[in-house]
Chain A
Amino acid sequence: MNTIKLRAENLNLSFGKKQILKNINIEFQENQVTSLIGPSGCGKSTLLRSFNRMHDLSPDAKIDGNLYLDDLDLYAKKNSVTDIRKRIGMVFQKPNPLPKSIYENLSYALHIHNYPKQEIPDLIEKALKESFLWDEVKDELKKPAVKLSGGQQQRLCIARTVVLRPEVILMDEPCSALDPISTKKIEDLILRLKKDFTIIIVTHNMQQAQRISDKVAFMYLGELIEYDTCHTIFNNPKNELTQHYIGGHFG
């Protein structure tokens, strides 16, 4: 159970002259949920997005250091970014369904990655079931995805990621735009998905981090301050900054 799935070594990242991440070293274990917490602007989303190379599109982003998925060097020139993104999926803060039907939201990437046509319907059904969405949408798969409620849209976005069977799922505050009931559903979903996937989640919600995480990383001003089991971070944090943040003194 203690296999290291994803890791960053001496990661420094800056946008233009502004350094966002300072010498980050972190390892994420397979089939665990790891939460990244910290005040806004501490770099947790930036760290998350460097694993699936979403910074490739920002011309002023400069990345130093090494990131690995198993033994695959994520930024090596020979490794294709599309393969990496297929193996490391991402769910965003605001649900962003494609302007297509529910079914097409899942089938699109399967077609792009050349999955055999006859397998696609079963894969989609499986992913929708895994994402706790099947019962709600099975009779209206042709409906435009934007007609779904916010919580359903976010579960669709998770299903869209899950259907490609990635190894890691990155989640960037996936519940911040959702009501408490939808949030509960997503949290249940995350706990169930960790059996098959390694999950890294950015969250501002301390209770949420406590409910779902195996491990928690606290970041502050671009640095990784403390990284430990969920229990230790919330009950017995070693660093003073962590204590203050957990205690709600700033944030």
Chain B
Amino acid sequence: MKKLLNTVNWLVLCGSTLLVVLILGVILWDIFSKGFSSISLGFITSYPTNGMTQGGIFPAIIGTVLLTFITTLFAVPFGVACAVYLNEYAKPSLLTNIIRASIRNLAGIPSIIYGLFGLALFVQALQLGTSILSAGLTLGLLSLPYIITTTEEALKRIPNSLREATLALGVTQFETIKDVVLPKALPGILTGVILTLSRAAGETAPILFTGVAFYINGISASASQEFMALPYHLYMLSTQHNEIEQVRPLAYGTATILILLVFTLNSVAFYVRFKNRTQD
């Protein structure tokens, strides 16, 4: 009887895992099998033509890369600084607990809310207009809670004995954090940052009202211009286009590129983590 129960348990657990892997496999197979045929060098390097029915997705790739870059510039310094404050300086108190709980809750807010907030704050109140800057800052806000949380976790894993080692030598707390704690926590922080950014790069809702455009006919270096982005481009091609059947292969191609981009970022994160693990 006990043995039977054991077998049943094993089957349920193993079955659930297989089901998840299977679903992922089906999605990837569907996208890659239909998308790879439309991918070519031209697809990656040229502009869309003939009302999006031909050509490539070059401006969308560049848009997503620049957007992620702006997000990084904004979210990483603030996020890491905030985590350092919370983990290294803040004394445990009701206020710190409230701050920490608020940050955890921010991570659970639907991304469309961030989009509307970005519209109200950056586009209108701060007069940045619908632009890549507004969209990048909005994505930055969305990323902040994740970066703060993962950075704080990475800092928590640094044993206190290491901080005591330099403090006991008459080194200040700031120097200890800068020279010992942060370098040691860097791989963990990087992993969190990259995973967060790869998630931000795939978001559509936060950029919807803040700066993304269906089509632009030239990439400009100005941060106040609208831009094209892969997730939004995919959304338009797959649901909003007049010639929906005709652009379907392009949509699959776009999806493939987006997934490859995110996978690349994630692989870098896994590599950093793996390298760090083998070093210890």
Chain A residues with a Cβ under 8 A of chain B: 52, 54, 57, 59, 82-86, 89-90, 92, 94, 96-99, 108-109, 112-113, 157, 160-161, 164
Contact = CB atoms under 8 A, between A and B. Distances in A.
Interface stretch (B113-121, B136-144, B169-177, B245-253): B169-177
B162 interface: yes
B92 interface: yes
B179 interface: yes
A99 B180 contact: yes
B161 interface: yes
Given A99-B184, A157-B165, A112 B171 contact: yes
Contact of B171 (A52, A54, A82): A82
Nearest to B160: A57
A70 to B, nearest CB: 17
A90 B165 CA distance: 8
Given A90-B164, A99-B162, A161-B168, 12 more contacts: A52-B168, A57-B167, A59-B92, A82-B170, A85-B167, A89-B169, A92-B161, A97-B165, A98-B162, A109-B169, A112-B175, A160-B165
Contacts of A160: 165, 169
B164 to A, nearest CB: 6
Contacts of B169: 85-86, 89, 108-109, 112, 160-161, 164
B25 interface: no
A86 B166 contact: no
A82 B165 contact: no
Given A94-B161, A99-B184, A108 B166 contact: yes
Contacts of A161: 168-169
B15 interface: no
Nearest to B161: A96
B170 A85 contact: yes
A83 B166 CA distance: 13
A161 B164 CA distance: 12
A157 B92 CA distance: 31
Q: Which 7 A-B pairs have the closest CB atoms?
A: A86-B170, A109-B169, A90-B168, A85-B170, A96-B161, A59-B91, A82-B170
11 contacts: A57-B163, A57-B167, A82-B170, A86-B169, A92-B161, A92-B168, A97-B165, A99-B162, A112-B171, A157-B165, A160-B165
Nearest to B93: A59
Contacts of B165: 92, 96-98, 157, 160
Contacts of B171: 82, 108-109, 112
B207 to A, nearest CB: 40
